Amino acid sequence: MASYFTRRSRKYLLLLIVATLVCPTLAYAHQDEKKQSGQKQGETQSSRKGEQKQNRNNLQTAVHRVSRANDTATNKGAQTSHPLDPAILVAQKGLERIRGDITDYTCTLVKRERVNGVLGKSEYMFVKVRNRKHDAQGKLKTPFSVYLFFAKPKAAEGREVLFVENENEGKLIAHEGNKTLIGKAASLITLDLDPESALAMRGNRYPITELGIENLVEKLIEVATHDRQYQECTVKFYEGAKINGRECTCLEVVHPEKREHFRFHKARIYIDNELQVPIRFESYEWPEKKGGKPILLEEYTYLNLKINVGLKDIDFSRTNPKYKFK
């Protein structure tokens, strides 16, 4: 099909491809179950439920610990308690676990974002992520790496995106799928783009460099720490929430009044009780009218999470024979 294009039409096609390219962002991960030392073979159903209950209790313990500390903080110079304190503690503990226990993961990410006031369609993509790691001297040992393969919608099916920190001059590489007329021609061309360029960011709220559970939790801590200097905030924990059959604890943060210093009206984080990591995040703007329905800003759901699967350099290489980068 490429032979039908003149040099001028090829240039036009390249611009069209770049203009429609989507670089997905933001994701979550999860943690594999670790066997307890001395665990007996033939573990019963009831004992597994007991472990899951203990994980739920770990979340509650963190919350209660902050509450008790705040209730007794009467010494001179002690900080005034804030509704966000339990949420910040849970996030900090989660970040410690992520950095200490998770090296890589795969999942199916379902992403939907509002960009320039327009709510886009849900996008489904298979994701591979390798977390950034440093050695004892603080030197980068493993670069942050991401591979994405789009499954839905049809217009994006077959699209691949690859990014490896400190490689390819900091640029991502991508090509379109071949399920549409434009896509068939576009799939013949692989593009190299600055992740934060206007073209790469088209249709996205965040660059691919901010994808992943570690980046997500860091951002949540940053926002919560900022919001802690203000009041007008409620925080609630809900037990028994389920995402794709997974039992979760839902943490909900609400800013009732619209203020310039708040980034959202309502946000919910769903923490998998067994895996002890977030598997869904959603945030909303304030309703257009008082008493109206909140407006969805963004939502990300992470399905079929598998951690520490042993991803290799070839999983993040454009020369991988299973990929279709040119």
Whether residues 206 and 286 share a domain: the answer is no
pLDDT in tens, 68-100: 434 433 343 345 789 999 889 988 988 988 998
Instruction: Please report whether residue 1 resides in a domain.
Output: no
- In the chain, the number of structural domains is 2
Instruction: Please report whether residue 205 resides in a domain.
Output: yes
Task: Return the structure tokens found at 98.
Answer: 């992520």
Res 121: pLDDT: 93
pLDDT in tens, 225-273: 999 888 889 999 999 999 999 999 999 999 999 999 999 999 999 999 9
Show the domain range for 123: 11-28+103-211+309-316
Helix (H, G, I), strand (E, B) or coil at 214: helix
| Residue bearing the bigger pLDDT, 53 or 167 | 167
Instruction: Please report whether residue 50 resides in a domain.
Output: no
Whether residues 253 and 298 share a domain: the answer is yes
Of 75-79, 127-131, 135-139, highest mean pLDDT: 127-131
Whether residues 112 and 237 share a domain: the answer is no
Whether residues 299 and 204 share a domain: the answer is no
User: Distance between CA 190 and CA 201 in Å, rounded?
Assistant: 17
Task: Report DSSP letters for 119-155, one per residue.
Answer: E---EEEEEEEE--EE-TTS-EEE--EEEEEEEESGG
Whether residues 231 and 123 share a domain: the answer is no
State percent of the chain over pLDDT 70.
Answer: 72
Whether residues 141 and 264 share a domain: the answer is no
pTM of this prediction exceeds 0.95: no
Tell me if the bond preceding 278 is cis, omega within 30° of 0: no
Instruction: Please report whether residue 322 resides in a domain.
Output: no
Whether residues 247 and 177 share a domain: the answer is no
* pLDDT grade for 52, boundaries at 50, 70 and 90: low
Instruction: Please report whether residue 293 resides in a domain.
Output: yes
Question: Which residues make Cβ contacts (< 8 Å) with residue 226, sequence separation at least 6?
Answer: 261
* pLDDT grade for 326, boundaries at 50, 70 and 90: confident
Whether residues 117 and 207 share a domain: the answer is yes
Q: Are 133 and 141 in contact (CB under 8 A)?
A: yes
Whether residues 128 and 206 share a domain: the answer is yes
Instruction: Please report whether residue 77 resides in a domain.
Output: no
Res 86: pLDDT: 87
Instruction: Please report whether residue 64 resides in a domain.
Output: no
Whether residues 265 and 164 share a domain: the answer is no
